[in-house]
Amino acid sequence: MSRLFEKVRIGNIDLKNRIGMAPMTRSRALPDGTPSDLIAEYYGQRATVGLIISEGTQPSDDGQGYTNTPGIYTENHIKGWKKVTSKVHSEGGRIFVQLMHVGRVSHPDNTPHHRQAVAPSAIAPGVEIFTAEGMKDIPTPRELSELEIKDVINEFRKAARSAIEAGADGVEIHGANGYLIQQFLSENSNHRQDAYGGTIEGRSRFAIEVAKAVVDEIGAERTGIRFSPQGTLQGIDEGENSLEMYRYLISELNKLNLAYLHLMHFGNEQFLKDVRQLWDQSLLVNRPGRPLDQLSSDVDNNFADVVTVGTWVLANPDFVERIQSGAPLNEPDKNTLYAGGKEGYTDYPFLK
């Protein structure tokens, strides 16, 4: 795995290794969305990876889907994130804040304003969501007007600026996992017949306009974007021509010279090769369920510049040291993944 420990440049920053911490919802923010001191400790513990990508962070009230997730659109949010970024930087790490608007993947019980969720079309995902009262069906969302779409794009812009004010090295636009951007990309969640639907170009428009707005606000070198091609989370079905759509979308985004593209990859190796040809900047690859002994394969084969890791880093704050030395890994506590305090969060043991 020697290449994993090489330095690499992403955007305008140098990473000390080619291992990234994948974004993972942990639901430890304060009720108003402000990151807590515990969150700062959590990320600071894991600053030995080359790049931390934070948990999904809502750019607005409407962007929230789950309880106790962080925001990045108020002064309190910015102050809270400053503690996080300062802690990570003091430990020699780098951090991008992931901007996540959940769209229809929400419930009025989970948001500060208790309003109906918004989406490209008024189509319920057909899945449940966790609330304070237990699992509930996700209600049908309200379709965004074209004017409201422009407002949401501006929310991403302002959130990106707030993240930089809070000391983040950059932001990652979340276009994966069934949330708002992927809802625009997918045939079964986007039935629009205006400029933001119908054709591949129409369904891709929202993602491209969000990326352009963020680049205009904070610079391409501080902007990454994440996709999960052919992913089906949250009731998503992108349709038979999804890979053709992503080839178009990635080609268009490549013109913006973003810091990186982050792919959640599900095993279509030819598509990954195609992306490597289409994309001129850094490529981050996350393979869910990848065996530990294959962790470096995409870097070794020049399919990726950085590999991102989820639960292994969650349960092993010193993950880099452990794989360098061949030490055993802590097992994640599945009961504490999405709620609670320090248990299963900041109390995982270090080797030393």
Residues serving a catalytic function are 179
Q: Is 195 exposed, middle or buried (0-12, 13-18, 19+ CB in 10 A)?
A: middle
- CA distance linking residue 111 with residue 62, whole number of Å: 7
Q: Is 124 exposed, middle or buried (0-12, 13-18, 19+ CB in 10 A)?
A: middle
Kindly give the interhelix angle for 200-218 and 242-254, rounded to the nearest 10 degrees: 30
- Residue 56 has which token pair? 């999904």
- Residue 198 has which token pair? 């119908």
- Residue 296 has which token pair? 């470096």
Spatial contact of 271 and 250, defined as CB atoms under 8 Å apart: no
Q: Is 230 exposed, middle or buried (0-12, 13-18, 19+ CB in 10 A)?
A: middle
- Residue 27 has which token pair? 């639901």
- CA distance linking residue 88 with residue 168, whole number of Å: 10
Report residue 280: phi and psi, to 5°. Answer: -90, -15
Q: In 10 A of CB 254, how many CB atoms?
A: 15
- CA distance linking residue 83 with residue 259, whole number of Å: 24
